[in-house]
Structure 1
């Protein structure tokens, strides 16, 4: 493992259990900061209401940590907007926010317009398809931002159980992360190899930073934000927080392929042009003490065409 990544993991990896909501609410008041929670949503009627209710009850009413909860609807065909509004969220539609810019499909569009539709100094993004949502997710993501002025962006890390025909596999989710995003980061942005869940849909940041970077319209948005914010503010301004376990719906292999394609497009448009890709791949295992980093050398050796070898040596076929 690279020494800089080892240092970053030690200094910038936290647990959500470190902070309490009341403690952070006091820190927020002392700093005069405001907090917005944004949920991008597309046909999330079964889950969005419970998430909004939990945030409003625990973090708006009981402890004044969050100032506003906004659901950004991307043209849902179900009752997502009605359920979210009934739970107490302010609901906006991607067609009405920044209408002069039109509307393009994709999650990143909802996040971008959610940033435009809110006013909080700190913005927390939470996927609207979470099952068994815990308000401590929001507390954990805000913790580093409200206690360390040097941190500007915080990603979630967690286990992702995978539902299969044989039951639930404790940590089999995140297939696009392991097969596409992590190899890309390790190869071309090895300084970011310490992020356990680079594509996590739960993260928080300072508005002053978020408004300085582009938002990719589709599923490449998380990858793009990570790379762009690191370039803007430096890797040490980025952190991650262990939220424990995250449960949500899983997509088909075909849908994951489309997601992977968007992430690849995002990465290629940002790929450094100098030097060969790094050969190390950092992966993570859940242990009793948290997460353990395991480094592998995935470098490959490319042999020349056999005709060139024979031409060099003057050899012939056996």
Structure 2
């Protein structure tokens, strides 16, 4: 495993690692093997504020060398080259073949996840050349929860299951992907309940008069190891615009998930759906509903009560 730094992490548009010159790229190719995993942390001085200094993703990198524009989407390339700060940088590239995002709840400072590797190398050297991660420290990364995400230029099946990186790298898939246009899953283990809320003009989204949806909001209920990652996975199916999914509940995601497994969390999810239907929320399909704010609040507490009760019952048996 190797470590390098980016100014962000968006493999769907940026499907490579890049170097400033041929000698730096040649060094990487000489010291690595095709299929090497490269951990990505976001530089401490640039990039999204919440990501800075943290390890946020992993790339599987081939030995296919080329010009960076071959491995970057056209719009992203044009954006890069139009910015004087980015123009002409990182042109000596190596193609990435797969990518995984680390769930935000598991983002860790690079010096905490790879203390010796990071301490023994200058950050500028890590970003310019890349460095090998000590085997003992790499094990910490394999235990983090991730989900696979598309890589620009790759057309293989993407499995969005949330699971540990070590499991994601296994040849066997824990949960087979569905044939439909949208599917995500995750392996069993600790869970949060969640309610996501669609921010934006509800009337415009549903194609209805404003007075028919006044005071109503579109929500999705469910459970997950990572509500933030579930939000991001759903949002990735939407084009950029005014509509954005946000985590309404839980209001704060601190510490480990409160429920030990899916069996307990399902009790909470079922209770939320039951409350929504019984109190007249409009079912928009699957786990999506149109409801007023008061009902959303009552739904959350109904789900928490049911899951807490199921958890207590499981602990007493």
Q: TM-score, normalised by structure 1?
A: 0.26
Higher relative contact order (CA 8 A, sep 6+): 1
Which structure has more helix as a fraction of its residues?
A: 1
Which structure has more strand as a fraction of its residues?
A: 2
